[in-house]
Amino acid sequence: MTHPLRHLRPVPELTLRLDGGAMQIGFRGADLGRLPLSLPALHSLFDALDPQLLFQGMRLRLPEKSLRTPLGFEALLQTIMLNMVHCVFPRTNGTTPLRARLQIQSLDAETNFIRNAQFVNQVNHVHIAKDRLAGLPMLVALPGPSLDCGFIRRHRGSFILLAAGRAARPLVEAGIEPDLIYMQDVNAAAWDVNFAFLGGRRLSSVLIANPLGAQHKYFHNFARVFKAWNLYPFEQDRFPKLEEIAPSSVSGAYSAARLLGCDPILFLGNDCGEVVPPLSDAEPPGDMTDHAFEREGNDLVFAPVERRVDLYLRFADEFSIRTRNDYVAASQWLKMRAARDAAEGGRKIYDSSRTRVCQFNSVIMDASRLDAFREAVLPPLSGYATRCDPRPVLLGKQRAFSFILRQLRRGVLPESVLKRPYSCILQGTRMAAADSLQPQDGDIAIAAANAETMLGHVEAALAGVAADVN
C-alpha cells in the first residue's frame, strides 16, 4: 500500500550528467551548474541536500553511460543511502514509525525509557573516555560471513577489540570476550538474541549503548556500561551525541572508535551482503543492478523505495554482490566519514571482508596493506558520579498510565494516546495498523492490556530506584 504522506508533494529529483571533466547538476527541475568531476565534489553535493526535502525519498536521473563510470555508480549508492536514512527508516523503524495521523511510539522504546531510568546514576557518557585509547589499534568485529574468530584469537593481544551488535555473541561463544561491545538497537528482541544466552554470566566487556536500548535487561552482565548520548531531561552530564545513522550499527561503532582515539582501525566482517556470480547476460542496466528504474530516452531514473529491499549491485570487476539497501547505507556512511577523517587527521582504516564493497571509491584500504599488529591493552576508563533523581519523571509516567488505564476500562480512548509517548499502548491494535484515529473492534482491550503492562514497568523502576537510594 502506498503511504498517504507520499502524495503531499512531488518527490524531488536529482539529475547528474558526467561529461567533459565536470558534473552538470540539476535538482527539482532547476539547473544548479557544474561541479568538478571528483569524488569529494560528489560527496559534498549529497551532503548539501536538505534532509527535510527527502522524507518521501529522492529520484536519481542520469544517463546509462554515466552509471557505468565509478562516480556515476557512486551517485546511485549515495542515493540509496539517503533514501534509506531519510525515507525508508522513518517509515519502518520500530521506535517511531511514520504515520499520517497517529504518532506511534513502540512499546520497547517506552519500556526501555522507563526501566533504564533506575540505572541513570550508574551509567557514564562515553564522551568522558574521549581519546583515552589514542594511537591504539582497534579491530571492529561485525557479524558478516568474513568474521573470523580464529584470526581474532591468534592476534587477540594486538588490538582493542570492539564487537558491534550481533558480532558479540559468536565471539563470546568462541571464548573471546571483547574489550568493548556497541549496541545501537532499541528493540528488546535484538538484545535478547545477542545477550540472553549469557544468563547470569558477567563479562569483562564494557558496553557502549543507545540509552533507549534494553540495557535494564542485561545491565549486570557487563563490567561497565556507557551511554552513547543523553536521553532524560533530568540528566546532569551533558555531552555531544555519538555520531550515527539510525539503520547502521557500524556507524555508531566507528564513531566510538574515533571518539576513543584509536588508530589504525580494522573492520572484520563488514561484508554488507554476499558475493554472487556476475549477471553478465542480464539486459543493461540489469548487469549492474536490479534496483527499480524507468528508462526515459537515454536516461535512467531510479525511484525511491519505501521499505528494506534486497539488491543486486555490481561494478566492473570491483564487486558483484547481493545486498540490502540498509547495508548499502551503512557502507556509504562509513566511506564518507572515513574520507573526512583521513583528510582531517590521517587516521588509517582497513577492511577485511569478502565483498570489499566499502573499499570502492574509498580511502578504506584492504587489510593486506595493514602493518604488523602491536600490543594493545584496554586501560582503565575514567568515570564520574551523578546524583540524578528519576523519580519525578517516573511518578509522572505512573499518573499518566494510571489515568489512561482507568479511562480505557470505562471504554474511553483518551486523546493523549494518539501522540508519543503514550501512543505506545496502541501497538498491536487495528487502528495503529490502519493509521486511524478511531478504535476498532478489540482495540480498547489491547490498549488496556498494554497500559497495564507499562504501569507495571513504572512501578518496577520506582522500586529499583528506592532500593538504590536505600
Nearest residue to 413 (alpha-carbon basis) of 436, 442, 449, 438: 438
418: left (phi over 0), alpha (psi -120 to 50) or beta: alpha
Question: What is the structure's pLDDT at 7?
Answer: 43
CA distance 353 to 367: 9
Nearest residue to 337 (alpha-carbon basis) of 434, 248, 240: 248
Nearest residue to 60 (alpha-carbon basis) of 43, 48, 47, 77: 77
- Which cell goes with 238? 551533558
Beta strands across the sheet bearing 30-36: 30-36, 22-27, 13-19, 59-63, 299-302, 293-296
Question: What is the structure's pLDDT at 97?
Answer: 62
Question: What is the structure's pLDDT at 20?
Answer: 81
**In whole numbers, what is the pLDDT of the chain averaged over residues?**
93
Looking up cell 522504546 gives: 109
pTM: 0.93
Q: For the residues of 337-357, what is the DSSP string, one character each? A: HHHHHHHHH---EEEE-SS-G
Alpha carbon 31 to chain centroid, angstroms: 34
Write out pLDDT tens, residues 3-44. Answer: 444 444 689 999 999 988 899 999 998 999 999 999 999 999
* Bridge pairing between strands 319-324 and 138-141: unpaired
Looking up cell 568485529 gives: 141
Alpha carbon 163 to chain centroid, angstroms: 15
Neighbours of 350 (CB within 10 A): 20
- Cis status, amide bond into 421, omega within 30 of 0: yes
Question: What is the structure's pLDDT at 470?
Answer: 59
CA distance 173 to 176: 7
Question: What is the structure's pLDDT at 307?
Answer: 87
Question: What is the structure's pLDDT at 306?
Answer: 80
Calculate ∠ Cα 193-171-162, nearest 5°. Answer: 95
CA distance 174 to 22: 51
Question: What is the structure's pLDDT at 457?
Answer: 98
pLDDT tens per residue, the chain (470 residues)?
334 444 446 899 999 999 888 999 999 989 999 999 999 999 999 999 999 899 889 999 999 999 999 999 999 999 999 999 998 888 777 566 666 678 888 999 999 999 999 999 999 999 999 999 999 999 999 999 999 999 999 999 999 999 999 999 999 999 999 999 999 999 999 999 999 999 999 999 999 999 999 999 999 999 999 999 999 999 999 999 999 987 689 999 999 999 999 999 999 999 999 999 999 899 999 999 999 999 999 999 999 988 899 999 999 999 999 999 999 999 999 999 999 998 887 899 999 999 999 999 999 999 999 987 778 999 999 899 999 999 999 999 999 999 999 999 999 999 999 999 999 999 999 999 898 999 999 999 999 999 999 999 999 999 999 987 65
Q: For the residues of 190-256, what is the DSSP string, one character each? A: HHHHHHGGGTT---SPEEEE-TTSSHHHHGGGSSEEEESS---TT-S---PPPP--TT-HHHHHHHH
Question: What is the structure's pLDDT at 126?
Answer: 97
Give Cβ neighbours of residue 344 (< 8 Å, ≥ 6 apart): none
Question: What is the structure's pLDDT at 89?
Answer: 86
Domain chopping of the chain, boundaries: 11-93+283-310, 116-273+327-369, 389-469
Calculate ∠ Cα 203-178-206, nearest 5°. Answer: 60
Write out pLDDT tens, residues 178-235. Answer: 999 999 999 999 999 999 999 999 999 999 999 999 999 999 999 999 999 999 999 9
Q: Evaluate whether 398 touches 117 at the Cβ level (below 8 Å).
A: no
> What is the identity of the amino acid at 212?
L
Q: Evaluate whether 279 touches 272 at the Cβ level (below 8 Å).
A: no
Question: What is the structure's pLDDT at 3?
Answer: 40
Q: Evaluate whether 304 touches 250 at the Cβ level (below 8 Å).
A: no
CA distance 227 to 125: 5
Nearest residue to 327 (alpha-carbon basis) of 303, 355, 363, 350: 355
- Which cell goes with 380? 582503565
Question: What is the structure's pLDDT at 266?
Answer: 97
